[in-house]
Each structure stands twice: as structure tokens, then as C-alpha cells.
Amino acid sequence: MRIVSLVPSITEALASVHPDALVGATDWCTRPADLEVTRVRGTKNPNLGLIRELEPDLVIANKEENRELDVRRMREAGIRVEVTEIENVPAAVATYERLFDDLLGWDRPDWLLEARRLWCEPLPRVTRRVVVPIWRDPWMVVGSRTFTGDLLRRLGWENVFGEHADRYPHVDLVEIDGAGADVVLLPDEPYVFTAEDGPEAFTRPPTELVSGRLITWYGPSLLEAHRWAAG
């Protein structure tokens, strides 16, 4: 089977089982680092002509990360496209189980079995309240109905803006600073927060730099995320 993945998390997951099946991936598909495939540009602007030239048996996309317009154009060109929708950790695990079992016919990897054991249990009690900015100028934060928010809640961390009407709302810095969070988590993607760019903006809560992959990717990184949080 020839597969093009337009989702970094899914690229990493598929490569953990059969990297030879991947013939195309986006420029943002950085894991595994040694993956040798044709790069088809970004998640929001894939090179559809190049994808057609690769003659894939299956293109895997995601409702949040990829555009409906690109999916429609690929399907109109006769390309089979599977669109995933993942807003929480159990949905991610179930999506991979269906992909491996039904669409690909591959054995489930050990990391997926462990992810179900670690992440699909009843929610723990809340131990701290967090805010997760994902952009600045303008400031945006993780809101409701997101994979990141669900992952953090399953660690016992409550997202202060988890009940916001929007999934990724624009929020004034003053409101973020005064939201009553125990800590502001500053990831390195999509905005690259660093020690020199981000922490200086906040006067009340402490800040913590975190790997964006550990709180936004779904795949083998789930095991790393659990170890990081426990660590």
C-alpha cells in the first residue's frame, strides 16, 4: 500500500510500524527524523499535483489540520482520502485502532496498546490549573473541545479556558495573566515560545516551557507525554 500522510502525528505513528508504506508526507512531518519520503509541502497548502503523481492508494488527513477544499479536490481526482477527527485522547487511540485494523490490516503496535492503558482511564482529580498559549501578537490559547485540553485534564491539569466557546480563542494578555492559573505552559509549536520570548509577558503565574509535541501530537508521543508529566 502506498500512503501519503498529511498529519505529522499520524506520519510518526504509521512509520513506527511500516515506514516503507509511506511515500509522501508534509514538511511538518518531522518524526521520525530519518524518514525518507517525498515532501508534499504543508498541512494547509499541500501540493496536490505532486500527491497525484505519487499515485497513493490512500491519503490520510485530519479535519482540524487539513483543509476541506484540498480533501475535496483530491477526491474529485479519484484519490482515496481518509479524514480523521480527533478532539480527545480516547478518540486518537480509537482512530489508530480502526486505521490499523480496518483500513491497513496491520498489527497494532505495542505503543498503541500501552497508550490505551495509560490514557483511557477515568479522569483523575484536578491537581493544578493551567493556561496554554499557542500564539502571541495576537495572543491565542487552547480553549474547549481540543485534544490538548483533554490530554492535560487526563493528567489532572485543568485548562482555565477549557469552557470557552471557541476551541482556540483570542484572549487579551491581561486576561490570561489574571485568569488564576497555577502555571502558564508555553509550548514550542505552533508558536515557538522560548526562554527569551514568552515568559517575560506574565507578571502573576509562573511559566513553564514544554515540548509542543508532547501536548499536541497523538501517536507514539503519548507514552513520552505520560513519562514527562510523571517526571
Same domain, 72 and 132: no
Looking at the domain assignment, is residue 42 inside a domain?
Answer: yes
Looking at the domain assignment, is residue 138 inside a domain?
Answer: yes
Residue at which a domain ends, from 25, 54, 85: 85
Looking at the domain assignment, is residue 94 inside a domain?
Answer: no
Looking at the domain assignment, is residue 17 inside a domain?
Answer: yes
Q: Which residues of the chain have pLDDT under 50?
A: none
Looking at the domain assignment, is residue 132 inside a domain?
Answer: yes
Range of the domain at 201: 128-230
Instruction: Look at residue 231 in the predicted model and tell me its pLDDT.
Output: 81
Residue at which a domain ends, from 85, 112, 147: 85
Instruction: Look at residue 175 in the predicted model and tell me its pLDDT.
Output: 97
Residue at which a domain ends, from 24, 59, 85: 85
Question: Can you give the CATH number for the domain in which 198 is found?
Answer: 3.40.50.1980
- The 10s digit of each residue's pLDDT in 161-208 is 999 999 999 999 999 999 999 999 999 999 999 999 999 999 999 999
Bridge-based pairing state of the strands 128-131 and 157-159: parallel
Looking at the domain assignment, is residue 120 inside a domain?
Answer: no
**Cis before 190 (ω within 30):** yes
Looking at the domain assignment, is residue 150 inside a domain?
Answer: yes
Instruction: Look at residue 10 in the predicted model and tell me its pLDDT.
Output: 98
Helices 110-119 and 221-230: crossing angle in degrees, nearest 10, is 40
Same domain, 135 and 72: no
Same domain, 152 and 79: no
Same domain, 76 and 165: no
Looking at the domain assignment, is residue 201 inside a domain?
Answer: yes
Domain count within the chain: 2
